[in-house]
Structure 1
């Protein structure tokens, strides 16, 4: 019985972590490919510099998670990517708290790209 309860708690925790942040749009990598050259969007890769150097999409600027996002323009949509989508989700949450209105997370990250 305790094992079942423990599994239920773990599943609930991961379901909560995967829940989209309120006000953050989520797109697939296929959708990203259709908008990658849009000059009205700012593309941010929140992976470490080493991860970014190993493989990246040239339109994305590397601003690792934990950096100061407040210098990004507030009048443009911010599209955020990481390796799997977890760090970019955290970055999107931080951007929303900083007052950014148009924030988009790339589901699946570079692993899906």
Structure 2
């Protein structure tokens, strides 16, 4: 089987899409999520992502992009339409809820 590239977008591209109210899951741990997250994002820690059933195209974010890439691969393997957010919250410059900001 050939390796498929993981579909991904930048944090800037995701910020532009926020007006469309996209489905976003944040795969960080709950304490990380509560310290600051994108408005409308749902917290689904990486360890639980295999039980998550996206109903629509879903953007996956974490702190740096590593866990979200793993989560994206898991969900893609299960047939879901998911897109990794490169750079994660470390690269996010938009508004956040909770925590500082």
Structure 1: stretches of 5+ with no match in the other structure: 1-20
Which of 68, 74, 78 does residue 94 from structure 1 map onto? 74
Query: What is the aligned residue count?
Result: 88
TM-score (norm 1): 0.72
Is the CA contact 1:37–1:59 (under 8 Å) kept in the aligned structure 2?
no
Instruction: Point out 4+ residue stretches in structure 1 off by more than 3 angstroms.
Output: none
Q: Secondary structure at the match of 1:80?
A: strand
Match of 1:108 in 2: 87
| C-alpha RMSD over aligned residues | 1.5
Larger proportion of helix: 1
Structure 2: stretches of 5+ with no match in the other structure: 93-101
Is the CA contact 1:77–1:104 (under 8 Å) kept in the aligned structure 2?
yes
The structure having more radius of gyration, on CA atoms, is 1
